């Protein structure tokens, strides 16, 4: 979905007029041109706020990229989409060392060596996720409320 063409709106809980349904913790994604409308509903208000922040942060990043002249070629975009849809290989991927990541993040226009595998390039773009015991135990619990 091209977010340059979409508008994100925070919806109040209650009746949603476009779909004629009752919503709670919902966002509406509406095309700036045309009649395309999507609803994003979350279980908790905190999740809704995280989505709102994520959409706002994405727009800020796009604005920053335009100001600095950062752009991806069509080939790079297609390769990123293909990599996103591929199943993840078994085992833990090899990580790029943290000092190298920090060095790249400090640069305005980072240049990556051509020998660096595509999977490692995407690892640079995503922050490392911290998993806790409670996070893992929740996923493994066979009975949930």
Asked if the model's pLDDT at residue 126 lies above 60, the reply is no
CA distance 119 to 105: 17
Burial class (CB in 10 A: 0-12, 13-18, 19+), 26: buried
Give residue-wise pLDDT tens across range 94-109: 554 555 555 555 655 5
CA 66: distance to chain centroid?
A: 19
Q: How many CB atoms lie within 10 A of CB 120?
A: 15
Give residue-wise pLDDT tens across range 50-77: 999 999 999 999 899 989 988 888 888 8
Q: Flag the least confident range among 20-34, 71-85, 90-104.
A: 90-104
Percentage of the chain modeled with pLDDT above 90: 34
Nearest Cα to Cα of residue 110 among 54, 69, 56:
69
Contact 90, 60 (CB under 8 A): no
CA distance 18 to 57: 27
């Amino acid at each position: 979905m091209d977010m340059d063409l979409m508008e994100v709106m925070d919806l109040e809980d209650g009746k949603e007029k476009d779909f004629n349904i009752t919503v709670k913790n919902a966002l509406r994604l509406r095309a700036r041109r045309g009649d395309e409308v999507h609803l994003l509903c979350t279980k908790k208000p905190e999740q809704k706020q995280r989505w709102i922040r994520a959409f706002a942060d994405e727009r800020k990043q796009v604005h920053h990229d335009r100001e600095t002249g950062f752009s991806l070629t069509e080939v790079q975009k297609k390769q990123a989409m293909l990599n996103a849809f591929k199943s993840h290989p078994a085992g833990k991927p090899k990580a790029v060392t943290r000092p190298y990541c920090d060095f790249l993040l400090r640069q305005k226009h980072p240049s990556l060596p051509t020998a660096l595998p595509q999977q490692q390039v995407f690892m640079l773009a995503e922050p490392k996720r911290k998993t806790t015991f409670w996070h893992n135990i929740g996923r493994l619990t066979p009975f949930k409320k």
